[in-house]
Chain A
Amino acid sequence: MNAGLRAVSRPDWSGRSSRALRRSRPQRLGERPKTTVDWADLIGRVAAHGDRDAFKFLFEHFAPRVKGFLVKTGMQPDAAEEIAQSTLVAVWRKAGQFDPSSAGAAAWIFTIARNLRIDAARRAARQSRADQPTEPDDGLDAVESPETTMARRDDVTRVTAALSRLSEEQSTVIRLSFIEERPHAEIASALGIPLGTVKSRIRLAMSKLRDLLDEPR
């Protein structure tokens, strides 16, 4: 699979490619980068000329991961399938909104899946209360102002720097607790620490992240 992925020829959408390439370097975040595929570049190709081959790579890599991620966080497989499909449809449609200098492709795709999950939950709630007015757009997809975009790019540097200085142990505990939403007892056994320690370790990791983000560059 990797050989096939690497065979994708390098970017031809001008200017942004070098930046996009830099982004593909292994970051400490994903403990072990599995491929050298430049997802940001592939998204750029979808945006620039509706490149279906590029999109196929994105689909084959991310759709099963979105589904796997959602199931792991407690969603029924059918519902996870639907959101995984819709997420990739949205990746195609919103590819032009993706900023390669900003959060990585995986983080961007996560936010799409998250917003779809929120929408689905609200739709379900609304259906059981049919007398409610239709849902106002909550701004999850709001278009950014240029100032916001600039500020966000600035933020990305700070955020990546802070995360790279968070210890492995701390990012793991944050991930287990908040992202995978595992109960404390499970976290205790996964990390081999007493149940009583879990809470304080989570709190410590969160305030450490806050401190790292607050540090002046």
Chain B
Amino acid sequence: MTINHHPPEDLLADFATGSLDEADHLVVAVHAAQCPRCSRFIQAMEHLAGAALEEARPIALSGTFKAIMARIDEGPAEPSAAAPVPAGLPDEDLPDILRRCHFGKRRRVAPGVKLQPIILPGAGQSRAFLLWSAPGTKMLQHSHTGTELTCVLKGSFAHEGGHYGPGDFDFGDGEVDHQPLVGGGEPCLALVAMSGDLKLHGWLGRLITPFVRL
């Protein structure tokens, strides 16, 4: 698998410092898990963060060493009722990170396009979902009020930015106005994190926007 499209560096940096929204974090994690190049970038950020930690001005703890040892000797807290079995897992060959997620109900959002939300515990601005698109599907010309992070899991799509196959990462924000075309042959499965709303263009877009809920 050759990955040609990567997240912008600042997104990787925010991922490394843990400051991304949960949905965005998930999409970057799925990409980085299969992209050695981005994984190295994240590691570099962690190194720099380690150096910053090493040089941070120390603030004395109110908890003593004795208290910490007592906490350690108590043993780990009860494992939280065993990891719950992920619900609604779609019948797909998903990356491990996604196999641990909870999924909502899959639904049809447009001809040839199905969506299944991923239920995340945090309350971020973005929501994450899997998106299946039939081969040859032409998505509506759209732009975003927020951001759209996409990692292709299967199949491919293309737009002005290039061709996106498995592992490729696409980042769109308010400045992007595109019309993705799903590659022929096999359906495209992508993991998407989206904040804000889609703005569909053209008379058809304006007509159906109220009905397309991504």
Interface residue ranges, A against B (CB under 8 Å): 29-31, 34, 52, 56, 59-60, 62-69, 71-72, 77, 80-81, 84-85, 88-89, 92-93, 103-111, 113-115, 117-118, 121-123, 125-126, 128-129, 132-139, 142, 151-152, 155-156, 158-160, 162-163, 171, 174-175, 178-181, 202, 206-207, 209-210, 213-214
Contacts and interface: CB of A to CB of B under 8 A. Distances in A.
A104 B59 contact: no
B194 to A, nearest CB: 18
B48 A179 contact: yes
A209 B14 CA distance: 15
Main secondary structure on B side of the interface with A: helix
Given A89-B72, A213-B40, A175 B50 contact: no
B96 A156 contact: no
B44 A81 contact: no
B41 interface: yes
Given A125-B121, A136-B86, A65 B17 contact: no
Interface of B: 9-10, 13-14, 16-19, 22, 25-26, 29, 36-37, 39-41, 43-63, 65, 68-69, 71-72, 76, 80-81, 83-84, 86-87, 96-97, 100-102, 119, 121-124
Contacts of A69: 52-53, 56
Nearest to B9: A206
Contacts of B50: 29, 103-110
B58 A30 contact: no
A121 B59 CA distance: 22
B86 to A, nearest CB: 6
